[in-house]
Structure 1
Amino acid sequence: MLDFFMGHYAYWFTIILLAIGLYGMLLKKNLVKKTIGLSIFQAAVILFFVSVAMKDGATVPVKMEGLPVSEAANYMNALPHTLMLTAIVVGVATLGVALALIVTIYNRYETLNEEEILDKIQ
């Protein structure tokens, strides 16, 4: 049983990060803390996809002298890593826009508490 948990440590770490990020997004009232929770959640999703795409003993998908092309098990799939690189770039852009919106909200309402902002809007 211990081997199962230790053998899948990346998945357990991903689940812990997902829970922390979800907790931050749903239960925190401060907009900055919600944004941090969103970033943690995104990092967990990226970690999950990268850990799923990992293959022990595999190499990059480039033709090499010692590895025959016909044995696809010798090569890693580069698509999940490429997609996660794109997800990182989109996440950084989203985080930048979110922080710019948070600054604008603070300048207008002088608070970052979600409930106070909703009271001032109505």
Structure 2
Amino acid sequence: MESLIAIMVGVLVATSVYLMMARNVLRFIFGLVLLSNAANLTIFAAGGLTPETPPLIAEGADTVVGAANALPQALVLTAIVIGFGLFAFALALVYRTYQNLGTLNADEMRIAEPRFESETKAEETSK
């Protein structure tokens, strides 16, 4: 089962890197979400996938033998909540950026950056 999840994590990371290399900001956001899901699966698989009992300690007992590890599950649950908040914020930011600039292409969002000399020469010669 761990090998199947490792393959799935690899596919998710490869897909997220492909999406994050696009010039479209919305694709970048979706790649970021896929990357966070791949990290969550990695943490979950590193904790061990066992069909054991929940880690509940009986009254009067000191330890539990043969129980599932609750720490990776808690970490993944926290990461899912934080990732959803980041995704919602990023979508609102992308929407507001599209309203102001009228584009989602990262190359066309260069308001504060100076243009390169080759770009200005190419524009002058095309006129």
Q: Could you tell me the TM-score, scaled by structure 2's length?
A: 0.78
Would the alpha carbon gap of residues 83 and 71 (structure 1) be closer, same or farther in structure 2, given more than 3 Å must change?
A: closer
Query: Does 2:84 match 1:58?
Result: no
Would the alpha carbon gap of residues 106 and 57 (structure 1) be closer, same or farther in structure 2, given more than 3 Å must change?
A: closer
Query: Does 2:17 match 1:22?
Result: yes
Larger radius of gyration: 2
Would the alpha carbon gap of residues 104 and 70 (structure 1) be closer, same or farther in structure 2, given more than 3 Å must change?
A: closer
- Cα RMSD of the aligned pairs, angstroms, is 2.1
Quote how far apart the aligned CAs of 1:54 are: 2.9
Could you list the per-position Cα deviations for residues 10-40 of structure 1 after superposition, in whole angstroms to 9, with x for gaps in the alignment? 1111111111112211x10111100000111
* 1:103-114 paired onto structure 2 within 5 Å: 103-114=95-106
- The count of corresponding residues between Structure 1 and Structure 2 is 112
Quote how far apart the aligned CAs of 1:70 are: 5.2
Q: Distance in 2 between matches of 1:112 and 1:88?
A: 26
Partner of 1:10: 5
What are the ranges of 5 or more consecutive residues in structure 2 without an aligned counterpart? 114-127
**Runs (4+) of structure 1 moved beyond 6 Å?**
none
Equivalent residue of 2:88, what SS?
A: helix
What are the ranges of 5 or more consecutive residues in structure 1 without an aligned counterpart? 1-5
Would the alpha carbon gap of residues 86 and 57 (structure 1) be closer, same or farther in structure 2, given more than 3 Å must change?
A: closer
Would the alpha carbon gap of residues 63 and 112 (structure 1) be closer, same or farther in structure 2, given more than 3 Å must change?
A: same
Letter in 2 for 1:87: A
Would the alpha carbon gap of residues 7 and 86 (structure 1) be closer, same or farther in structure 2, given more than 3 Å must change?
A: closer
Would the alpha carbon gap of residues 36 and 55 (structure 1) be closer, same or farther in structure 2, given more than 3 Å must change?
A: closer
Q: Distance in 1 between matches of 2:27 and 2:56?
A: 43
Q: Could you tell me the TM-score, scaled by structure 1's length?
A: 0.81
Q: Distance in 2 between matches of 1:75 and 1:99?
A: 40
Quote how far apart the aligned CAs of 1:96 are: 0.7
Q: Give % identity.
A: 29
Quote how far apart the aligned CAs of 1:59 are: 1.4
